[in-house]
Amino acid sequence: MNCRHCGAMLRHTFLDLGFAPPSNAYLKAEDLNRPETYFPLKVRVCDQCWLVQTEDYARADELFSPDYAYFSSTSSGWLAHAQRYAQTITERLGLGNESFVIEVASNDGYLLTNFVAAGIPCLGIEPTTGTAAAAEAIGVPVLREFFSEALGKRLAHEGRPADLIAGNNVYAHVPDINDFTRGLAAALKPEGTITLEFPHLLRLIQNNQFDTVYHEHFSYLSVHAVQRIFEAADLRIYDVEELPTHGGSVRIYGCHAAAMIEQRPGVERVLRLEVESGLLDLATYQAFQARADRVKDDLLGFLLEQKRLGKTVAAYGAAAKGNTLLNYAGVKPDLLPFVCDAAPAKQGRYLPGSHIPILAPQALVERRPDYVLILPWNIAAEVREQNRYLAEQGARFVTAVPRLEVA
């Protein structure tokens, strides 16, 4: 395989998680007796441009089907984060009713609803049917397509170039990152701004977040790698902010290379931090597999011990990262009989691979498990707060990443 950005041959493995189905391919009851598609889940690192990327097996249309079941608005913390961003970027860029905002991968309208409320013209780009329909239902205009260079050029030709293009947790999901980035450049006004938020590869490595690896994530991004990709599209990064979301993310601010926008100190600060932390050193990547294996082994040991003791364990959050963890560890309903999730679109379905049933949160009240394994560890505090009555009844909360912890 050659690097998706620079074309260099990929000779180094960062992580090998065996075979797994797509992490958001939730199953219906009638699917349980049908064949399930599995893909190798192996991640390589390019020693030329330092782009970390999954091997080429799954196609985007097999991963992001019309009934793709991730709804951003399910998390109250994420809604608050989006609202804060909308307020600050509106002030920073001086956006108003003469401006135009595009969000790529606009999901269920969780972000653009803030611009609609402020009277700022906007457009969401969202290919999945269920989330696009949810956005339209709250007044967010949506174009139901995958974003690409061709679409970016079309929007510009139609007289709809953007003052702001936002992309939250989408950049890592695109199979052709060069085409996508050229699309951003094509759709952006000469002095416009691009903001992209994505989980920071540095935090993934530091905090052992191997469960954020899944087929829908084609790339695992450092600012060094993104800087190279932007430069190839005649764009540049002019600011970087570190964020606590998703276990540690960055928000980059980009513009055309020729734009009259001054570079901020945050860019050099984060680039320097990446170098000091070993992100340009192969040894950093080669040491990661053993850390992932330790998490898998510790979780399996815990679940087997509770089964032996006659204790019950349930899970909370039918998140993609949880599916990566459970499938790598080989966990099935005999060790984890059910998982609860607040998203109605997931309830009544089954986790891919493990076939663990997804129930409404009310099941935790009815069944009173001894332990609740929080799979989306990035919102563990929110989950514990929402379900504190369980602790009052004697249940204990468990997280497996970055290490096994029983609260």
AA letter at 361: P
Task: Name the least confident of 7-11, 63-67, 330-334.
Answer: 63-67
CA torsion sign for 115, 118, 120, 121 is: positive
The CATH number for 119's domain is: 3.40.50.150
- Mean pLDDT, range 369-381, rounded to an integer: 95
* Same domain (yes/no): 338, 269: no
- 63 part of a folded domain: no
pLDDT at 21 over 60: yes
pLDDT value at position 61? Answer: 55
The CATH number for 373's domain is: 3.40.50.720
* Same domain (yes/no): 174, 295: no
- 332 part of a folded domain: yes
- 185 part of a folded domain: yes
> Domain boundary residue among 285, 308, 331?
285
* Same domain (yes/no): 234, 256: yes
pLDDT value at position 66? Answer: 53
| Enclosing H/E stretch for 54 | strand 52-54
Sheet holding 142-143, edge to edge: 142-143, 122-125, 101-104, 162-168, 188-199, 249-256, 235-243
* Same domain (yes/no): 277, 317: no
On the 0-12 / 13-18 / 19+ scale of CB atoms within 10 A, 287 is exposed
pLDDT value at position 289? Answer: 97
Q: Are strands 162-168 and 101-104 parallel, antiparallel or unpaired?
A: parallel
| Enclosing H/E stretch for 167 | strand 162-168
* Same domain (yes/no): 181, 229: yes
Confidence of residue 3 (pLDDT cuts 50, 70, 90): very high
- 190 part of a folded domain: yes
Domain range enclosing 341 = 290-406
* Same domain (yes/no): 278, 305: no
pLDDT at 60 over 90: no
- 102 part of a folded domain: yes
Taking only the tens place, the pLDDT of each residue in 8-20 is: 999 999 999 999 9
pLDDT value at position 75? Answer: 76
* Same domain (yes/no): 140, 280: yes
* Same domain (yes/no): 277, 348: no
* Residue 350 DSSP code: B
* Residue 401 DSSP code: S
Per the structure, how many domains does the chain have? 2
Using only C-alpha atoms, the chain has a radius of gyration, in whole angstroms, of: 21
